[in-house]
Amino acid sequence: MISVEQPQEPTGTPRVRHTEHEAQANLLTVLRLCMTEKLRCSEKTRRPSTATVSAVADVLDGGDFYPHDAIAAFAWPMLLQAGGLAQLTGGRLVLTTRGRAALTRPPHLTIPQLWQRWLNNSLLDEFSRVEEIKGQRSANVLSAAKPRRKLVGQALAGHDQNDKSRVTGDCYARFCESREVKSLPATRQPLVRLFRRSLRGGVRRRARAWVAARPRPS
């Protein structure tokens, strides 16, 4: 099980989210929501509309990760399309045969298949939602999405010797240092600044500790 600390207001305490259980509940919830045929996506980009994102956010178990930034609510309609569980018909998301079958299966069996299909899908480049990365439509600004996503999948599938973590230090380092996931020099510094701004509280402390513990090349 993976737990995520969700930042709260400064006067509050961090909230631990049990994302494994939430994902299983949310898969079935969004599939049922698709059955109403009220979820709409752009037929050109296949991205969910603002109303669809809002509708999904309202039914998510535990809500979205951040109150003013749609992450899970945006991702679920995209995942269902990439996984072949839903398709666009007249601008509306409609369950496929596979999607209707997923409603009757234990969700923990469907989610790994959904993940594997996402790794091999080119429906969306996750970096395209990061507005600080400029010039993404120009040639040679970013590496291709599929090789990057493949390396992320390999990193997330790693295990250390004690089997305590899904991501090993060596595997994560290879991912970070790989040319396939690095932007070209013109955009690298904005990415670094964005990454630094995104690290808050305990995440920043753990990141610093991990960097300090990394063996230096001889």
Q: Where are the domains of the chain?
A: 1-124
Q: What pTM was computed for the model?
A: 0.66
154-198 per-position pLDDT tens digit: 887 774 444 444 444 454 444 444 444 444 444 445 545 555 555
Q: What single-letter amino acid sits at 43?
A: E
Residue 79 is inside which H or E element, if any? helix 72-82
Tell me the pairing of strands 15-18 and 86-89.
Answer: unpaired
83-120 per-position pLDDT tens digit: 999 999 999 999 999 999 999 999 999 999 999 998 88
35-90 per-position pLDDT tens digit: 999 999 999 999 999 999 999 999 999 899 888 889 999 999 999 999 999 999 99
What b/e sequence results for 148-169 when a residue is b if at least 16 CB atoms lie within 10 Å of its CB, and e otherwise?
Answer: bbbbbeebeebeeeeeeeebee
CA distance 51 to 48: 8
